[in-house]
Amino acid sequence: MQVVIIGSGNTATVLGKLLKGNGFHINQVISRNIKHAETLANDLNCVASDFSSPIDDTADIYLIAVSDKGIQEVVNYIPKNNKLILHTAGSVSIKVLENVSNQFGVLYPLQSLRKEIDVIPEIPFLVDGNNQEVVEMIMQIAQKISSQVAIANDEMRLKLHLSAVMVNNFTNHLYTMAAHYCKKEQLEFDLLKPLIFETANRLKFVHPNDVQTGPAIRNDSDTIEQHKNLLENYPDLKEMYTYFTKQISSFYL
């Protein structure tokens, strides 16, 4: 199948490589920034264009992989046709595509993607389509590039997107705060990395509810107070520590 990719960022790059590596032919990469389009197009061995150029009208699939806010602009750029139009966003309704084609849907990668990565991680895909035939078509596409594919409507995708923000973005911010604390206190943040990896690895085998540890779940008030005293000069960290301690303690009562 022939594909036009609209976008040149992290999602466009990773999905473009996945598709090309699994037998799809990439016809064209389109981006607001022509240099970015050329960089990705060079990797995918295809034509690069910006929005001032005509879109290839011979492809089977038009994959919109831009920021959530940029999807509407792209929709206005695509000429109306009966080709399969997909966007890749978790928090944008499928309905944004309904006036572009009679075949439209979502191919949402539930993963944190970086264009610089050499090894593409396991990527679950959530798919949806405007009718059952289209859903099955998108499922077949997704199953060629992933072993984990599930159907999810707008509401389900949005809820999973919210959950993803909590387990990925929020967690990474905690890592960032801890790393800044270690730097200021002249501690080696790298010493914490084995703990981070072990905690995440456990989730392959058990529910997170079953492996919670720490002073909050033990109701170890002496240690908790010691920790708070250490954070007197770090009010933001102390506030976060106090909040999470309270939440964990209350959850496991």
pLDDT in tens, 55-111: 999 999 999 999 999 998 899 888 888 899 999 999 999 999 999 999 999 999 999
Q: Which two tokens stand for residue 4?
A: 């036009």
Is residue 49 within 8 A of residue 55, CB to CB? The reply is yes
Q: Is 61 left (phi over 0), alpha (psi -120 to 50) or beta?
A: beta
pLDDT at 232 over 90: yes
Is residue 49 within 8 A of residue 61, CB to CB? The reply is no
pLDDT of 175: 97
Q: How far is CA 69 from the centre of its chain?
A: 15
Residue 107, classed as helix, strand or coil, is strand
Would the pTM count as exceeding 0.85? yes
pLDDT of 145: 97
- Which amino acid would we find at residue 224? I
Percent of the chain's residues with pLDDT above 90: 93
pLDDT in tens, 104-138: 999 999 999 999 988 999 999 999 999 999 999 99
- Tell me the pLDDT of the chain averaged across its residues: 95
Q: Which two tokens stand for residue 18?
A: 């996945």
Q: Is 45 left (phi over 0), alpha (psi -120 to 50) or beta?
A: left
pLDDT in tens, 203-218: 999 999 999 999 999 9
Is residue 98 within 8 A of residue 147, CB to CB? The reply is no
Residue 128, classed as helix, strand or coil, is strand
Tokens 């002496």 sit at which residue? 222
pLDDT of 187: 98
pLDDT of 81: 83
pLDDT of 253: 83
pLDDT at 23 over 90: yes
Q: How far apart are CA 4 and CA 88, in angstroms?
A: 14
pLDDT band of 35, cuts 50, 70, 90? very high
* CA nearest to 127, candidates 114, 113, 115, 142: 142
Q: Which two tokens stand for residue 130?
A: 């405007």
pLDDT band of 234, cuts 50, 70, 90? very high
Is residue 40 within 8 A of residue 17, CB to CB? The reply is no
**DSSP secondary structure of 15-41:** HHHHHHHTT-EEEEEE-SSHHHHHHHH
User: What's the DSSP call for residue 187?
Assistant: -
pLDDT of 80: 84
Q: How far apart are CA 165 and CA 251, in angstroms?
A: 20
The number of beta carbons lying within 10 Å of the beta carbon of residue 132 is 8
Query: What phi and psi, each to the nearest 5 degrees, are found at residue 12?
Result: -60, -40
Q: Which two tokens stand for residue 137?
A: 């078509």
* CA nearest to 110, candidates 141, 69, 156, 75: 156
Q: How far apart are CA 226 and CA 179, in angstroms?
A: 20
Could you give the domains of the chain? 2-151 (3.40.50.720), 158-251 (1.10.1040.20)
User: What's the DSSP call for residue 219?
Assistant: T
Is residue 86 within 8 A of residue 62, CB to CB? The reply is yes
